[in-house]
Amino acid sequence: MIKEMRTVEFVVLPASKAKARKMFQIAGACRYVWNHFREKNLADYQAFKNGKAQRPQTSFFSLGAEFTKLRRETDWMQELPCAPVRYSLKYLSDALGQAMAGNKGFPKPRSRAKTAPGFTLPDTCNFRIRKVNGKYSLLHIPLVGWVTLTRKGGNPHEAGDPKQVVLRHDGHRWRAFVSYEIEEEEKMDDGEVLGVDMNVRQIATSDGDFYHLPDLEKKEKRRKWYQRKMARQVKGSNRRGDTKKKLRKVSRKITSIRKNWVHQTTKEISGKCGTMVVEDLKVKNMTASAKGTVENPGRNVRQKSGLNRAVLDTAFGEVRRNLEYKCGRLIKVNPAYTSQTCSRCGHAEKENRKTQARFQCVSCGFVSNADTNAAINIRRLGMAQLHGEGTGISTVPMNRETDARLPHGS
């Protein structure tokens, strides 16, 4: 048995207006202490950056001690639970640490308009979760009381030990993200290996199956339309407020459709066998490179951002992350030439790829769906890596002549 963390998302029904108001107050207090301690540390940070001072003390422990003082002096804060507000400094401490290390910029202030209200119930704050029936559970938030948690399809990790709850308001309703520690059987290695090819519009597996992305074009168009409409409207006007609400609603819908699709698809794929092979694409780097930096602006920004949108649309990162924990073993292979190599004879040539969808080998005449062919190649590379035979023997071009015809890194 191994211990793992799993997060389950619920919709929160606060049961009364007073409880909902209190939740917003806690979130407001979190924002207040974030901004307070952010500002307090700004001068120290700048002095440290200019080499004029020692690195300031920004651990969660030291910030927490200062918070205790602040809370004692602030009347309105005493009516709110201590632990969740204090815990927002954990996030600030992490962000300050990243800034001091030079990995990221100084944390930004949190504003009422731009930051989604939310707070975290850490393990230390004695929250309780009680099951009512298959559909509903109750969550006890200190100084707020019992609120109802509900989730379509019930709670898959009911038997787990809840360690932390993140509460966030998405502009429409409160949501709770409960992290459960669960004990899981180690996944059986059945010896089967499946190759997974992720393309812009679909996922193909080496056994010939396809998983098409949900069609979100209509909703994306509507989202764009609202965005443009909002840009024309007068700031602060009621009409603009209405448009903003509608925009948020369609954005939420898009996110939830995509999220559900990722979960269902990865569950189905990982149910097929224990070992998955995926392309080692650095999705993050691909998306980061287009904009470039201020000193070195990226080239082909427009073309690339189109592609990036599409890449993001498929939510590859999420698919990968989900496969990683849902299947027993995930092997990442170098994707070079996988789309141009014949999965039957190993002949690699650009001409093999007739169209985006069709693969036809110019050497042996093998015809297949281009993505399925790629998935089979990915599977083979994974097998080679698994059995220690080096990588990509069959996919490296045999002579220079072929090499010259192949675009690099595709």
At 313, list the tokens. Answer: 């649309």
Burial degree of 146 (CB within 10 A; 0-12, 13-18, 19+): middle
- Residue labelled with tokens 């400094």: 89
CB of 368 to Zn ion, least distance (A): 10
Q: Which is nearer to Zn ion, 322 or 373 (CB)?
A: 373
CA distance linking residue 277 with residue 349, whole number of Å: 23
- Number of residues located near Zn ion, criterion CB under 5 A: 8
Taking alpha carbons only, the member of 231, 209, 347, 334 closest to residue 277 is 334
CB of 341 to Zn ion, least distance (A): 9
361 binds Zn ion (CB under 5 A): yes
Does position 366 bind Zn ion by CB under 5 A? yes
Which segments within 341-395 are labelled E, that is strand?
358-360, 367-369
| Min CB(402)–Zn ion separation in Å | 13
Residue carrying structure tokens 């849902």: 326
Spatial neighbors of 315 by CB under 8 A, at least 6 apart, are 258, 262
CB atoms inside a 10 Å sphere around CB 281: 16
Residue 376 interacts with Zn ion (CB under 5 A)?
no
Taking the least distance from each CB to Zn ion, the nearer of 88 and 343 is: 343
224-237 burial, b at 16+ Cβ within 10 Å, e below that, comes to: eebeebbeeeeeee
Of 364, 386, 393, 398, the one binding Zn ion (CB under 5 A) is 364
Q: Is 31 in the site for Zn ion (CB under 5 A)?
A: no
**Of 308 and 339, which CB lies nearer to Zn ion in the complex structure?**
339
Q: Is 348 in the site for Zn ion (CB under 5 A)?
A: no
The distance of closest approach from Cβ of residue 352 to Zn ion in the complex, given in angstroms and rounded to an integer, is 8
**Least distance between Zn ion and beta carbon 360 (Å):** 9
The window from 64-72, 76-84, 199-207, 356-364 that contacts Zn ion (CB under 5 A) reads 356-364
CB of 363 to Zn ion, least distance (A): 5
- Residues numbered 286-345 forming contacts with Zn ion, rule: CB under 5 A: 342, 344-345
Which uninterrupted H or E stretch holds 182?
Answer: strand 174-184
Q: Which two tokens stand for residue 137?
A: 């559970």
Alpha-carbon Rg for the chain, nearest whole angstrom, is 26
Options 33-41, 42-50, 257-265, 366-374: segment touching Zn ion (CB under 5 A): 366-374
Residue among 311 and 376 whose Cβ is closer to Zn ion: 376
Closest CA to 276 of 358, 396, 187, 180: 187
Cβ-based nearer residue to Zn ion, 95 or 376: 376
Which listed residue (110, 347, 379, 380) binds Zn ion by CB under 5 A? 347
Q: Of the candidates 168, 210, 160, 258, which has an alpha carbon nearest to the alpha carbon of residue 368?
A: 210
**13: which strand partners?**
148
Residue 373 CB, shortest distance to Zn ion, in Å, is 10
CB 342, min distance to Zn ion, A: 3
* Residue whose CB is less far from Zn ion, 202 or 363: 363
Give the binding site for Zn ion (CB under 5 A).
Answer: 342, 344-345, 347, 361, 363-364, 366
